[in-house]
Amino acid sequence: MTKFSIIGAGWRSEFFLRIARELPDLFEIPGMLVRKPERAEEIRRNWGVKTCTTLGEVLAGKPDFVVTSLSWDSNPIFMRELAERGMPVLSETPPARSVDDLLALMDLMNAGAKIQVAEQYFLQPLHAARIAEAGSGRLGEVFLKCPCATGTTGSV
């Protein structure tokens, strides 16, 4: 049994709620951080999941990891706090607003934080074709300014 908690109650969090509901022998959600009382009640009623108002309450359920499904501004804050507490994080997009925020996230990961981003856009056919073309050599050398893709600034 894998236990995971969720921070955030937007539409993306419902993907994870559905997974746990459809596979109850595999997944349990011991708590979900929801800040709006009316949304918390809706989650409890529709999904049967305990809702919490603080990170401490969420972590008291002893999840194996936490899914963050938050806004651009809130997500990096919670990911940092979870990392500082040694809690693995699966971040639903977006993980950060800027390249500087992404670099700060990489610093956390380089320091040992266990963070993954649930990003699948690179697998979509149009994006996959663009990536393949960029790496094919037909465009010449493609230079990356963002170290996020390779870990260093350089070419594809």
The enclosing H or E element of 2 equals: strand 2-7
List, for residues 108-144, the tens digit of each pLDDT value.
Answer: 999 999 999 887 676 678 877 888 888 888 888 876 5
Say whether 58 sits in a helix, a strand or coil.
helix
For residues 15 and 143, the model is more confident at: 15
Instruction: Report pLDDT digits (tens) over 17-74.
Output: 999 999 999 999 999 999 999 999 999 999 999 999 999 999 999 999 999 999 988 9
Q: What is the pLDDT of residue 60?
A: 97
The structure tokens listed for 52 are 């919490």
Cα–Cα distance for residue pair 156/100, rounded to 1 Å: 21
How much is the pTM?
0.78
d(CA 144, CA 142): 7
How far apart, in Å, are the Cα atoms of 61 and each of 49, 52, 114, 116, 139?
Answer: 12, 10, 19, 21, 52
Taking Cα atoms as reference points, which of 72, 82, 70 lies closest to residue 102? 72
